[in-house]
């Protein structure tokens, strides 16, 4: 019985350490990036096409380091909608939003709350598009990866880079605790 209790205590201690480590690394990701999330009006072919036009224009013209980037993003999105003859408008908001785990050309970001720019087109009921607005890695080039590498600590970049040859261990208990934390945060709002 003593061996069982000792093993249980060690397992709990290791789990707590893993959760703390994961949360500290997630915090670095979450606080050093600006994520971009564009939600289409609907899943119609035309709304999805326009969503990608909005995406392209925002990536070309909006700089997340500009203090007015929120206003510029909304103006940019509405300009594209108007040119495309769409009967709806775009809304833009900044804040902390939940993002699922996502891979961008060899960079995998864990799920969690990140500062982001969310663009809702019309009703915002369609398929969405995700990326990283700052540092700009949406274009998926090696230059962008180098900028991301420069803006993060070396060990953090190694964790999210699939080019890292070391294994990344995912503990199910960490994912469960993070999921419960996310649900509790959502209930508070």
128/109 Cα distance (integer angstroms): 17
Q: Are 95 and 106 in contact (CB under 8 A)?
A: no
Q: Are 92 and 58 in contact (CB under 8 A)?
A: no
Cβ neighbours of residue 52 under 8 Å, at least 6 residues apart?
Answer: 129
How much is the pLDDT for 142?
44
How much is the pLDDT for 167?
37
How much is the pLDDT for 151?
61
How much is the pLDDT for 169?
41
Handedness of CA 110, 113, 119, 125 (dihedral sign): positive
**Can you tell me whether residue 107 is helix, strand or coil?**
strand
How much is the pLDDT for 57?
92
Strand partners, 134: 34
How much is the pLDDT for 118?
94
166/36 Cα distance (integer angstroms): 29
Model-level pTM?
Answer: 0.63
Q: Are 109 and 29 in contact (CB under 8 A)?
A: yes
How much is the pLDDT for 2?
74
| Per-block mean pLDDT, blocks of 10 residues, the chain (189 long) | 70 63 51 84 96 92 84 95 96 90 74 88 93 68 56 60 44 59 67
Backbone angles phi, psi at 126, to 5 degrees: -100, 180
How much is the pLDDT for 53?
95
How much is the pLDDT for 64?
79
């Amino acid at each position: 019985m003593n061996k069982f209790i000792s093993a249980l205590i060690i397992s709990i201690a290791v789990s707590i350490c893993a959760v703390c480590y994961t949360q500290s690394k997630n915090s670095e990701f979450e606080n050093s990036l600006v994520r971009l999330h564009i939600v289409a009006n609907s899943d119609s072919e035309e709304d999805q096409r326009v969503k990608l036009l909005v995406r392209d224009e925002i990536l070309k013209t909006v700089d997340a380091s500009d203090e007015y980037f929120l206003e510029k993003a909304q103006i940019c999105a509405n300009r594209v909608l108007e040119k495309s003859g769409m009967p709806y408008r775009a809304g833009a908001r900044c804040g902390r939003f939940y993002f699922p785990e996502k891979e961008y050309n060899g960079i995998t970001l864990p799920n969690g709350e990140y500062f982001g720019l969310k663009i809702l087109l019309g009703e915002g009921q369609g398929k969405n598009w995700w990326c990283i607005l700052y540092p700009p890695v949406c274009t998926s080039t090696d230059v962008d990866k180098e900028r991301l590498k420069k803006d993060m600590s070396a060990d953090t970049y190694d964790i999210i880079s699939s080019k890292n040859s070391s294994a990344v261990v995912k503990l199910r208990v960490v994912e469960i605790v993070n999921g419960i934390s996310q649900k509790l945060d959502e209930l508070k709002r």
